[in-house]
């Protein structure tokens, strides 16, 4: 008794390989599309958070003034009086600090709520 071995022909093997190849190609395309969507979400999130932080930084810098404004000119300097740095009162400095803290608090709340929303979206998907 000879046992018949069922060897697939070359064309059958080729057809099977092409079918597998198309399945893998579709799976890769699907994964690539999902990756693009995820990267867009992360990119937008990063830009919003970074923009918020940059905005707060600029506001705080504006309220405090630049370091060049705070430099002390020696009293024996021969510079004109208009160039010498002006002194701000303690009250004005405290008000600026409070405004900066208030704005930082608002920015922190907004960033926290934004991150929580993104986490909820990610959890629901």
For the stretch 66-120, pLDDT in tens is: 555 545 555 555 555 444 456 678 888 888 888 888 888 888 888 888 888 888 8
Instruction: Report the alpha-carbon distance of residue 76 to residue 104 in Å, rounded.
Output: 40
Instruction: Report the alpha-carbon distance of residue 85 to residue 106 in Å, rounded.
Output: 32
Higher pLDDT: 7 or 14? It is 14
Q: Helix (H) and strand (E) counts for the chain?
A: 3, 0
Instruction: Report the alpha-carbon distance of residue 15 to residue 26 in Å, rounded.
Output: 17
Percent of the chain with pLDDT over 90: 17
Average pLDDT, the chain: 78
Count the residues in the chain: 125
Higher pLDDT: 68 or 62? It is 62
The pTM of the full predicted model, rounded to 2 decimals, is 0.42
Two tokens, residue 99? 């405004």
Residue 92 CA, chain-centre distance (Å), reads: 34
How do the domains of the chain map onto residue ranges?
Answer: 42-71+81-124
pLDDT of res. 84? 47
pLDDT of res. 17? 92
Instruction: Report the alpha-carbon distance of residue 53 to residue 45 in Å, rounded.
Output: 12
């Amino acid at each position: 008794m000879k046992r018949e071995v069922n060897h697939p022909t070359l064309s059958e093997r080729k057809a099977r390989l092409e079918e597998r190849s198309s399945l893998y190609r579709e799976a890769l395309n699907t994964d690539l599309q999902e990756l693009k969507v995820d990267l867009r979400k992360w990119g937008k999130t990063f830009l919003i958070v970074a923009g918020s932080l940059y905005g707060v930084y600029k506001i705080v810098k504006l309220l405090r003034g630049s370091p060049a404004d705070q430099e002390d000119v020696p009293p024996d300097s021969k510079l004109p009086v208009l160039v010498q740095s002006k002194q701000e009162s303690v009250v004005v400095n405290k008000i600026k600090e409070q405004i900066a803290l208030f704005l930082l608090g608002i920015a922190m709340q907004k960033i926290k709520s934004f991150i929580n929303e993104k986490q909820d979206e990610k959890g629901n998907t």
